[in-house]
Amino acid sequence: MDQSVAIQETLVEGEYCVIAVQGVLCKGDSRQSRLLGLVRYRLENDAQEHALFLYTHRRMAITGDDVSLDQIVPLSKDFMLEEVSPDGELYILGSDVTVQLNTAELKLVFQLPFGSHTRTFLQEVARACPGFDPETRDPEFEWLSRHTCAEPDAESPKPREWNSDPGTRSGFAPIGGSRHQSRNAR
């Protein structure tokens, strides 16, 4: 089932869900299901900006009514998504793929299902990352101001509170994003 259809129903004109994958947001022993959608926005000059839209969902997301926008992560120059090994575990063929999402302000860990769809999702995210070119201006993401995220449950911590200590890096190969230190890390 292509869950990008459910995400597309929540978007406005000019926004397009390139691909979506269902994953699990991990924090210690806590596991929360999330739908991750790579959303593209075409600017007037034919340039593009991308962001990851993170949704909570009640069940298998079939329509826009099944999802609630939790968080938006712009694919800015400091965005990086990298595949990591869970602490102390060896990679087992056919097991879920653990990825860590890093920005200057955020660090989240997701488990994504093993398979070609996850690989395609990761490739599309890597392709959408702006990378580092000093000549390229920073994306502005003005189009994201149209979206509001759902209020978190009182007993559920906001994902931004799950960030680990600043400056910690896993040292694993990046899947996408820039290959330079963020401005905050310098």
Report the CATH number at residue 151.
2.30.29.110
Question: Residue 103 is encoded by which pair of tokens?
Answer: 């920005």
Range of the structural domain that residue 86 is part of: 4-185
Give pLDDT, residue 181: 38
Contact 103, 79 (CB under 8 A): yes
Q: Which pLDDT band, with edges at 50, 70 and 90, does 142 fall under?
A: confident
Give pLDDT, residue 38: 97
What is the Cα–Cα distance from 117 to 139, expressed in whole angstroms? 28
How many domains is the chain built from? 1
Q: Which pLDDT band, with edges at 50, 70 and 90, does 135 fall under?
A: low
Tokens 């994306």 belong to residue: 139
The model carries a pTM of: 0.75
50-76 pLDDT, tens digit per residue, is: 999 999 987 788 888 889 999 999 998
Give pLDDT, residue 90: 65
Percentage of the chain lying above the pLDDT 70 cut: 72
Contact 69, 149 (CB under 8 A): yes
